[in-house]
Amino acid sequence: MLWQGRFTKELDVDVNDFNSSLYFDKRLYKEDISGSIAHVTMLGDCDIIPKDEAKTIAKELTVILDNVENGSLVIEGAEDIHSFIEQELTKRLGDLGKKLHTARSRNDQVATDLRMYLKKEIDFISGQIKELNIVLDDLVKEHKDTIMSGYTHLQKAQPITFAMHLEAYIEMFKRDLSRLDNCFWRMNECPLGAGALAGTTHPINRAQTADLLGFDKSMTNTLDSVSDRDFCIELASSISIIMMHLSRFCEEIILWCSDEFNYIELDDAYATGSSIMPQKKNPDIAELVRGKAGRVFGNNMALLTMLKGLPLAYNKDMQEDKEAIFDSIDTVKICLKAFTPMIKTMKVLKENMRESANKGFINATDVADYLTKKGVPFREAYKIVGEIVAYCIEKNIVLEELSLEKYKEFYDKFDKDIYQEISLENCVMKRNVKEK
């Protein structure tokens, strides 16, 4: 154990397993080695240890990284990834390897490793979202004239285009990218050099290690450096919002491919069948994404709960940060990986969308607007159109099928131009919400 000396007994075997984090933090091996190379390079440059020794340690750390990458070195048999790397180094270099941890604590070490790892994952997730938005943008260009019903309360409301509907999700995902960018920016400060909580008496150069590891700067307060996990919560929250957006989209995909809507058909490669009903084509991918959103929300709450009662600075509770944030990252990545090609390959049944839009009186508001443009107060126009809709429902017809004579019975200011005014294409074209 790294902390031997004070203790007279070996740690209980079961307690050792309980205490260990290696099985989940071993994914940080690359960041841990990179951080150690930067740290030992700084130690040499600051003459805290001889430069030739620093170079030897850095070189051997690079060899250890290569060994892990090519599978010749298996990560096992240690309390955590940090102790594994240090023990392996000491095994190879003897007492020289023991100098690596000079002016460093596992507290600032793990905080640095985690920030480095999460920054890399933010870049990857951002790339996935950008890829999804490219797919959506291609669909937008293809369906600028595809008329469909817009809904409120899951009831047909007003006519829109499928492109407009998809653009709403593009805007959501743009905000997700913005949140990830902001999270990255706040995360991009280096804790290394904070030690356990109060810094170190050695004349280290924190700015050098921060620069070597690609951080904008070092963190200001050493207690905050080792006890802060806001960046985990912020990323978990940002991922939760991404998953919420994906889940909403999946809910619509599930509805749209049902026989009741029949707006889209999923590609066979992104749907499944039934074990007993041969006719079934189930949207399982969309359902799984919708279901996995719940576990991501739970991870976000777990992080908040873990931190809410912790005094400064580091507490062992904080070891629980990794499984939660790692699971959220893994989940959103696999969901985006499955979701994007599912959307790209789905078949849009535009004729069915248009036919469905003909029903439900989604141009009723346009009839009211028509009257207000002729000087009728809106509330009076609203009442008149409500009576017209009620009549059409009774007669099982739509507004386009109502005769001009009947329109005039409800209000004499109706004219033959009403039919042009309420065509679904015109209803969509007339609505302009862009800034002038």
The stretches of 308-377 forming alpha helices (DSSP H) are 321-345, 350-357, 364-372
| SS3 category, 149 | strand
Distance CA 274, CA 268 (A): 13
Radius of gyration of the chain measured on its C-alpha atoms: 31
Residue 401 carries which DSSP code?
G
| Concatenated DSSP letters of 192-248 | TT-TTTT--SS---HHHHHHHTT-SEE-S-HHHHHH--HHHHHHHHHHHHHHHHHHH
Distance CA 361, CA 372 (A): 18
Q: Is 274 a catalytic residue?
A: yes
- Largest Cα–Cα distance of the chain, in whole Å? 101
- Residue pair 45/122 in contact (Cβ under 8 Å)? The answer is no
Residue 32: closest CA among 93, 70, 71, 86: 86
Catalytic residue among 153, 165, 218, 423: 153
Neighbours of 395 (CB within 10 A): 11
Phi/psi at 272 (5° precision): -130, 170
Q: Is 153 a catalytic residue?
A: yes
SS3 content of the chain, % helix, strand, coil (to 5): 65, 5, 30
Catalytic residue among 238, 245, 274, 403: 274
Q: Which residues of 291-324 are buried (b: 16+ CB within 10 A; e: fewer)?
A: ebbeebbebbebbeebbeeeeebbeeebbbbbeb
- Residue pair 107/194 in contact (Cβ under 8 Å)? The answer is yes
End-to-end Cα, the chain, rounded Å: 68
Non-local CB neighbours of 159 within 8 Å, separated by 6+ positions: 147, 148, 149, 150, 357, 362, 363, 424, 427, 428
Active site residues: 153, 274
